[in-house]
Amino acid sequence: MSAREFRDRVRRRARHANLQIGQELLDGLEKYYLLLARWNAKVNLTAFKLAPGGEDEAIDRLLLEPVAATKHLPLNARHLLDAGSGGGSPAIPLKLATPHLHLRMVEVKTRKAVFLREAIRELSLADTVVEAARFEELLSRPELHEAADIISIRAVRIEPRVLMTLQAFLRPGGQIFLFRGPGGSDVTESIAPPLLWKATFPLLESLRSRLVVLEKVKIG
């Protein structure tokens, strides 16, 4: 499949999801997808089998779902921390769609962290860094405490202790973006102050995916 056909497929999937994809963003998403596909043949970055021409579910999940989430970013958000970045989605498409964000990706697995650094270089992503560590280890760095406006995480299950650790990096009024599939709850039963459930938004109908937004409130 040619580059033009790939782009046409992304545009078609974007229209299906009621998303507007400009040329610059489309260029970045294509470059990221092709880099991810090339590396995924050697390093297990994603469970998707990334065909050169793209497959609808992979395009929707890896590229368009994060773009859809940008509609719910607060206008004053400037610093994004992505926990467990893996192959770079949702973090890198979020960054491509909102270039003003300062992005910090946290990924403990060395080979995945190497890929993320290569993606930063290939995509010329400004104000973007990779922390090759567990996010719990970053608690020892005072400059990161309450430094993020948004924390993004995509996981099947989110344990309460994980949320309590992540909130330490979030400023009061900041938000956690939980990327969820069609199953499971909105974790309202497992969250505790200073985190409160704020809203749940549908993302892509094709995936029946949701964005669960938690907000950190100021206590005392």
Q: Which tens digits make up the pLDDT trace of 119-171?
A: 999 999 999 999 999 999 999 999 999 999 999 999 767 888 899 999 999 99
d(CA 36, CA 42): 10
Closest by Cα among 216, 215, 172, 203 to 90: 203
Residue 75 confidence class, pLDDT cut points 50, 70, 90? very high
Q: Which tens digits make up the pLDDT trace of 7-61?
A: 998 999 999 999 999 999 999 999 999 999 999 988 889 988 787 666 889 999 9
Give this prediction's pTM.
0.94
CB 89, CB 22: distance < 8 Å:
no
Q: Taking the CA atoms of the chain, what radius of gyration do you get in angstroms?
A: 17
d(CA 203, CA 15): 13
Class of the CATH domain delimited by 63-216: alpha beta
User: β-pairing, 170-180 with 79-83?
Assistant: unpaired
CB 162, CB 185: distance < 8 Å:
no
Domain ranges of the chain: 63-216
